[in-house]
Amino acid sequence: MGKQIDIGRVLANLPLFQQLRESEIANLAAGTREIGLSKGRILFQKGCLLDGFYVTVYGQIKLAFSSPQGNEKVVSLVGPGQSFGEAVMFMERPCPVMAQALEDSRLLYIAKRGIFAAIDHDSAFARRLLAGLSMRLHGLIQDVEDYSLHSSTQRVIGFLLQLASTPASGSVICELPASKHVIASRLNLSPETLSRILHSLIESGLITVHGRRIVVQDVARLSRFDDLPHSSCAKGG
């Protein structure tokens, strides 16, 4: 899984901790441990109690839960520099999702006592932590809006435009952050529906697909596209 990392240096470079004093970073680092996960390894199961939260140094973590029928719903994909587990750490309640490495990954597990000490000494840190949690809540609300009001095609296009980020026009190359099966679950679609929509976009000359690499031929055209036959698939077919 690679050589050991300098925990203090990694923490100091994360946006959440950049404004903490050196002594505060040292206190956090003392209560932080490094975790290496190989691809496919489970970090924790649904129902676990967390006495801290995680930051991804590199790799990617899938947060998901399963229905009684055994169908998996991917809630979030957590990449480098992103954190997860803060909410259940504060609430002291069982985790509502499981966490699994989608590729070889390295994480930091930051103990709650260090976080609470930083909050006590730095109100700006507390505000940044709250801002991060608020942004995640806003994202979940946006997800509910997308599932409820947007067609399957609109969800896929929105996801591709998010990956493209810039420019507002012209062509751009996107790299899917996970397998198409995982992406479909993240968008509340069946894998078959996702494949059908991608094929429709290819036939329309809007994208080309090479494995996980997707070339958006014209960002502006893609943003205006509305495939009416697929718009009825609002629940993922």
Give CA–CA dist 181/67, Å, rounded.
Answer: 16
Indicate if 150-231 has the same CATH topology as 7-146.
no
CA proximity to 3, closest of 100, 102, 106: 106
Whether 233 has a pLDDT exceeding 50, the answer reads no
Global pTM reads 0.79
- Where do runs of H (alpha helix) occur along 103-179? 112-121, 123-149, 152-164
Quote the pLDDT of residue 236.
46
Residue 27: pLDDT band with limits 50, 70, 90: confident
Q: What is the mean pLDDT of residues 137-158?
A: 84
Whether 141 has a pLDDT exceeding 60, the answer reads yes
Whether 149 has a pLDDT exceeding 80, the answer reads no
Q: SS3 for 16?
A: coil
Q: What is the mean pLDDT of residues 67-83?
A: 88
More confident residue, 19 or 226: 19
Among the four given CATH numbers 1.10.760.10, 1.10.10.10, 3.20.20.70, 2.60.120.580, the one describing domain 150-231 = 1.10.10.10
Whether 1 has a pLDDT exceeding 60, the answer reads no
More confident residue, 112 or 19: 112
- Report residue 170 as tokens: 């012209």
Arithmetic mean of pLDDT over the chain: 87
7-146 folds as Jelly Rolls (2.60.120)
Domain locations in the chain as residue ranges: 7-146, 150-231
Quote the pLDDT of residue 227.
54
